[in-house]
Amino acid sequence: MSTALVILAAGKGTRMKSDLPKVLHSIAQTPMLVHAMRAGASLSPARTVIVAGHGAEAVEKTAKAEDESAIVVRQTEQLGTAHAVAQAREALAGFDGDVIVLYGDTPFIEPDTLRRMIDARASHDLVMLGFDIAEVQPRYGRLIMDGDRLEKIVEYKDATEEQRAIRFTNSGLLACNAALLFDLIDQVSNENASGEYYLTEIVSLANARGLSATAIKCAESETLGVDSRADLAAADAEFQARARADLLDVGVTLMAPDTVYLAADTVIGRDTVIEPNVVFGPGVTVESGATIRAFSHLEGCHVSRGAIVGPYARLRPGTELAENTRIGNFVEIKNAEIAEGAKVNHLSYIGDASVGAATNIGAGTITCNYDGVMKHRTTIGQNVFVGSNTMLVAPVTVGDGAMTATGTVVTRDVEPDALAVARAKQDNKPGYARKLFDMLKAKKARRDKGA
Ligand code: UD1
Ligand code: MG
């Protein structure tokens, strides 16, 4: 049986107090919508439909960047969750499997839970996902059960005091055959406390037709909905705690776990040591046995086995560090490959470049990659010694085994084994320093007397 996803993402998220649509706010530097899409993708869905409304253009852009085949439909007016799902009808024309409805603002749903929903469909026409709330709170629909039969869902606003005390509540996620789902939705009315078309009404509609509805349970942490910035921060903290625990579990050393900030897709191999206060942006992979020293910032890069990065290093997108490379303090690397055993130890900017194996880049070296209009590449060979404070004006190539003298501004290619020197010749003037000092001291004495 094939599956399709419908992800609801049209809401404004008023309580976020933001110009950005709620589902584009990030947890672990990844939009909530993308978290939901990734959980759903684990089911290899035949189609993924995203219902966008507020900020639809931005939502579409993010959705397409994650999954080019995702279909984004518009809900121009937010008339309720049932109305939102109805917008997916055309996009699912001809599809006759199961639809799983997900929320774009419920980022922590586990693939395993989605699979359990599908399994439960074998014995029920409609499967809702519920969770037990630890504390009774004035949100979430209450699931009215009779054994494992789900009778109806009552929204908090519409519930009696007795129903409000129920702790088994609705996550909003459901699984149902596509044709049946749209058929039930056609019957949903908006006669309730909010005047909205509630998706939850399909439960009583299914029961009225003699169909069977049930609700399965997941952990409250999985259905944690994000409605405010405080919820967002709490959700991020929860994500970080879990991701750090997972890293410790696979054999990564985190010297001060609480100070390491991870992205949703950070991958780190065993026996790598992460010192305190390291930030991982999206797209970082670190192999086994590397060391990331304190206060480093990494994004979109790959660090190979045995490399040592930092303290205070910044690796930007497109950085590839080969085995046993050394990147030291106050070094920024962008879109550059640093080959095995090469060193960039101090105060350098290496951008749009390749650095050959065992090459040493001296302190203060800059690849001048930008001419104000275009970016250019710098190619440095193997076993090169780049002297301190060398400016490499790209495009430029330095051959294998070459050297550049300290302070050289390299504007022409340097052939292999050559020494490039481009700086003013030094001229020592004997006794001049003493004369100059005497002159300056006399001048100061005259000034002090006059004052
Ligand atoms: C909904 C459920 C409630 C459940 C809760 C779980 C209904 C009627 N209620 O309530 O039982 O306990 O979620 O969090 O379904 N959306 C749209 N278009 C709309 C309305 C909503 O796309 O017209 C999207 C929102 O962006 C959001 C999701 O649907 O992602 C849920 O909407 P929301 O307004 O948050 O519903 P709740 O009141 O929380
Ligand atoms: Mg909500």
Region for 192 from its dihedrals, namely left if φ exceeds 0, alpha if ψ lies in -120 to 50, beta otherwise: beta
pLDDT band at 171 (very low <50, low <70, confident <90, very high): very high
Say yes or no to pLDDT of 360 above 80. yes
Look at the chain and count its residues: 451
Q: How confident is the model at residue 1 (pLDDT cuts 50, 70, 90)?
A: confident
- Taking the centre of ligand 2 as the mean of its atom positions, its distance from the CA of residue 103, in whole angstroms, is 9
Residues in the ligand 1 pocket, defined by CB under 6 Å = 8-11, 51, 53, 75, 78-81, 83-84, 103-105, 140-141, 153, 155, 169-172, 198-200, 225
Atom of ligand 1 nearest to the CA of 8: 22
The pLDDT score that the predictor gives to residue 206 is: 98
Q: How many CB atoms lie within 10 A of CB 380?
A: 29
pLDDT tens track for 362-376? 999 999 999 999 999
pLDDT digits (tens, 9 = 90+) for 395-450: 999 999 999 999 999 999 999 999 999 999 999 999 999 999 999 999 999 999 98
**Structure confidence at residue 139 as a pLDDT band (50, 70, 90):** confident
The pLDDT assigned to 211 comes to 98
CA distance 41 to 53: 22
136: pLDDT confidence band, cut at 50, 70 and 90? confident
Average pLDDT over residues 286-310: 98
The mean per-residue pLDDT over the stretch 291-313 comes to: 98
Give the per-residue pLDDT at 43. 96
Alpha-carbon distance of 166 to 150, in angstroms, equals: 14
CA atoms within 13 A of residue 333's CA, in its CB half-sphere: 34
Catalytic positions, written as ranges: 346
Nearest 5°: CA angle at 118, between 113 and 120? 95
SS3 419: strand
Mutation test of ligand 1: which of 35, 77, 81, 153 has the most ligand atoms closer than 8 Å to its C-beta? 81
pLDDT reading at 451 higher than 80:
no
Q: What is the reported pLDDT for 449?
A: 94
pTM to 2 decimal places: 0.89
- Tens digits of residue pLDDT in 62-115: 999 999 999 999 999 999 999 999 999 999 999 999 999 999 998 999 999 999
Q: Phi and psi dihedrals of 429, rounded to 5?
A: -110, 105
pLDDT of residue 12: 85
